[in-house]
């Protein structure tokens, strides 16, 4: 257990569906992250939130919409996805983000395996 939970663990959705991924951290961290891992590609940063404020959007298409209502919860709202969006979506948290957090390890959730039909 890393202290970061994600639900659901598996999700299958059609291209016209709207769904949300949820992440929760119980570590008292200030920064939370969404990563995407596609087959045979490295973990790719999508979004960063620090103290509930978005500090990084790594050129992610608008069909992915993050929400961070407080420092413990992070959502990823999905709408009109494409089959190529099928991937493992990982949430992570750390004490601080950016250069201030360079020495902080990130704590990852187990991920949501998303399949878009």
Partner 1 sequence: ILNVEQSPQSLHVQEGDSTNFTCSFPSSNFYALHWYRWETAKSPEALFVMTLNGDEKKKGRISATLNTKEGYSYLYIKGSQPEDSATYLCAFMSGFQKLVFGTGTRLLVSP
Give me the residues that bind partner 1 (CB under 8 A), please.
2, 4, 40-45, 48, 56, 58, 90, 97-99, 102-111
Q: DSSP label at 39?
A: T
Least distance CB 17 / partner 1 (angstroms)? 25
Q: How far is CA 4 from CA 13, 36, 63, 81, 93, in A?
A: 24, 16, 24, 25, 8
Three-state secondary-structure class, residue 91: strand
Tell me how far apart the alpha carbons of residues 12 and 15 are, in angstroms, rounded to a whole number. Answer: 10
Least distance CB 31 / partner 1 (angstroms)? 11
- Whichever of 46 and 116 has its CB closer to partner 1, that residue is 46
Cα four-point dihedral sign 84, 68, 45, 9? negative
- Whichever of 58 and 115 has its CB closer to partner 1, that residue is 58
- The secondary structure element, H or E, covering residue 16 is none
Least distance CB 48 / partner 1 (angstroms)? 7
- Whichever of 56 and 67 has its CB closer to partner 1, that residue is 56
- Whichever of 61 and 98 has its CB closer to partner 1, that residue is 98
Tell me how far apart the alpha carbons of residues 96 and 105 are, in angstroms, rounded to a whole number. Answer: 9
Least distance CB 44 / partner 1 (angstroms)? 8
């Amino acid at each position: 257990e890393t202290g970061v939970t994600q639900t659901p663990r598996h999700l299958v959705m059609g291209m016209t569906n709207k769904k949300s991924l949820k992440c929760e951290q119980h570590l008292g961290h200030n920064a939370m992250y969404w990563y995407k891992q596609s087959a045979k590609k490295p973990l790719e940063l999508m979004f960063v939130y620090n103290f509930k404020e978005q500090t990084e959007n790594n050129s992610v298409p608008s069909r992915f919409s993050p929400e961070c209502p407080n420092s413990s919860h992070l959502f990823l709202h999905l709408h009109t996805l494409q089959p190529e969006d099928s991937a493992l979506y990982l949430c992570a948290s750390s004490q601080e983000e950016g250069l201030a957090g360079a020495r902080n390890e990130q704590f990852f959730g187990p991920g949501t395996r998303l399949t878009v039909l």
